[in-house]
Chain A
């Protein structure tokens, strides 16, 4: 093929070619032609579109990479492929129903989404102090269990994306055991809508605490096994050490929080610095590393899982002695029904149904009003932030005094942290882009909402 031969007869890229150089349209089964024509041009620059459907991009993330050989010169990130309109949908449901929507944002950390949202609503209502202690302890326990399951998936998919199936299988089976607990306590494995404004949906079922205790017996050994597999694995180290460096200055400018920030050596953890749900009363350490690289972020996640186990242990101890309701006493806010897990999932307990249908008309009216109409939240706005597995999960809730949110906005850590991809990837090798993205651990459901 002579250099002057156009590869495609139809030239749709004339305008772009003038500005950017020769454009090839790769349609499949034509690689030899493309490579041959590119060789003739003598240009090494290559723009590769990666995603939104790619096995190593952590979901529907799109990366547009400009390559010089294997070096990434420019990296652009395209998102929005999972935009769900959750924030807008919540404006058309009651405050309580909002938990059902927001739990599906960051689908690896549903409990965190719910808790952040509920803390925001409680702040608007001014009832933060009235949430029962037992509910707060259950929230903390569920959040920490969720942190473990989320980090396990982070590490599992990280291994998968780097090509290590063993890590993936090990991570996922441990996550299954965590999900078993969720299922026993909330009735669902994911997207539980368990944390509600004013407390939690229902008390722990009998036997749940002993299941958690079994889990606590098992888990430290399993985390040790994972560490044994990865901590000083030479292949793993080669792929992670000094890769995707981002120091404290970069993190501050990019607004990055969570394990990435703690891997730069700053012990910033909202559980310690701005405690919520009674975190100030628990004894745990903030995990930090000072390497600012992928390996450091991995170590922080591992250490956080161990700390989370410590917190869960303290929760179990407290739950044995702290009894009482799990929903706010105020009958105008608290969900009227006693919920219970039946054969087909969570629903109103049979005793409550007998009460409202058989004995008390007023209770029925109250139930009906509160469930269909919902409670009113005084006008105003509030911002509540919690430490999710990926960083600061903030929620900005605005009420106009009605029974439905006027506006809910989530500041999702994945969304913010993902902005750092170009900063970490540019100038590095293309293979390290995968490690960089995986170390952010973005969840596209949270990014796009």
Chain B
């Protein structure tokens, strides 16, 4: 029974990947220490020395398979092939305008039946345009932009995640681009997908990612004069302690808790 637990299964599966061996995991930067979020009182749990390391950045080997599994070549291979053909492989005609597949795509991850292209930020707009216009890809609909902040991921702290949907082929794919905190610039997708307008403004508002080429990149959710980008990990939740019948309960981010 316990061996079928999905968490263990996933860990076992991950360990079987060559790039994800125990040795390599030890090399990874520390994601967090301890188990309890106690900052004020002493940690009496004994778990204070616990070290959790970040997952290594792996790329999935071929075949990618499809949403159902990776046993054999499937839909995802088709998407990758078509994108590679449309962008051109290494050494394709030099006078071509766009980037090569190898240049533009850092790595490809297929996980939990979903495909993610890690796109180098300078080529994001070109890749998105190809994704939209190429008849064999035809991702017409952009389902929004989501920012994620990984403070430990040095040099790529801010991730901008775009989900694309192809109504023609009924597929989904994810484009992920990163930028460092010191230079938070990612090209805007508004010229390709006008719907990204508000989504990029929202991500700018919450994470401070500057989308170059956006027609009017201003705050959208927070007041215009707000300081900081509230959904970054280094921005506190901002709760206040609550008094209840004489006892004071700290806000959720300052309580002792399992993390």
Interface residues of A, Cβ cutoff 8 Å to B: 79-80, 83, 85, 87-89, 91-93, 123-127, 252-257, 266, 268, 273-274, 330, 332-333, 372-374, 376-383, 385, 392, 394, 396, 398, 400-404, 406-407, 409, 411, 415-416, 418-419, 448
Contact = CB atoms under 8 A, between A and B. Distances in A.
Nearest to B113: A123
A448 B223 CA distance: 12
A419 B197 contact: yes
A377 B149 CA distance: 18
Contacts of A407: 146, 148-149
Given A125-B6, A252-B140, A268 B148 contact: no
Nearest to A418: B198
Contacts of B55: 379, 400-401
B174 A383 contact: yes
A434 to B, nearest CB: 21
Contact of A88 (B202, B237, B258): B237
A394 B163 contact: yes
B193 A255 contact: yes
A51 to B, nearest CB: 15
16 contacts: A80-B221, A83-B221, A257-B141, A330-B5, A332-B5, A374-B258, A376-B7, A380-B112, A381-B111, A383-B163, A406-B148, A409-B161, A411-B144, A411-B199, A418-B198, A448-B221
- Smallest CB-CB A-B distances: 5 pairs: A255-B195, A409-B146, A411-B144, A378-B10, A80-B221
A372 B258 contact: yes
Contact of B9 (A126, A266, A274, A411): A126
A255 B237 contact: no
Nearest to A411: B144
B253 interface: yes
A89 to B, nearest CB: 7
Contacts of B149: 407
A89 B237 contact: yes
B31 A400 contact: yes
Contacts of A406: 148
Contacts of B116: 381
Given A126-B112, A255-B142, A377-B7, A92 B252 contact: yes
Nearest to B231: A88
Contacts of B7: 125, 332, 376-378
B interface majority secondary structure: mixed
**B: interface residue count bin:** 35 or more
Contacts of B196: 255
B170 A273 contact: yes
Given A80-B220, A385-B172, A419-B198, 5 more contacts: A255-B196, A273-B167, A372-B258, A378-B7, A402-B52
Given A83-B221, A274-B170, A332-B5, A396 B146 contact: yes
Contacts of B11: 378
B257 to A, nearest CB: 8
Nearest to B253: A92
B148 A126 contact: no
Given A80-B221, A92-B253, A411 B146 contact: yes
A92 B238 CA distance: 12
A79 B221 contact: yes
Nearest to A78: B220
B184 interface: no
Contacts of B142: 255
A382 B112 contact: yes
A400 B52 CA distance: 10
A83 B148 CA distance: 18
B195 A383 contact: no
Contacts of B220: 79-80
Interface string B185-199: 000000001111111
A125 B4 CA distance: 12
A83 B222 contact: yes
B247 interface: no
A369 B198 CA distance: 41
Contact of A380 (B111, B163, B193, B195): B111
B59 interface: no
Contacts of A418: 198
Contacts of A268: 167
Given A376-B7, A400-B31, A409-B146, A93 B221 contact: no
Contacts of A273: 167, 170
A373 B259 CA distance: 8
A72 to B, nearest CB: 19
A404 B148 contact: no
A118 B92 CA distance: 45
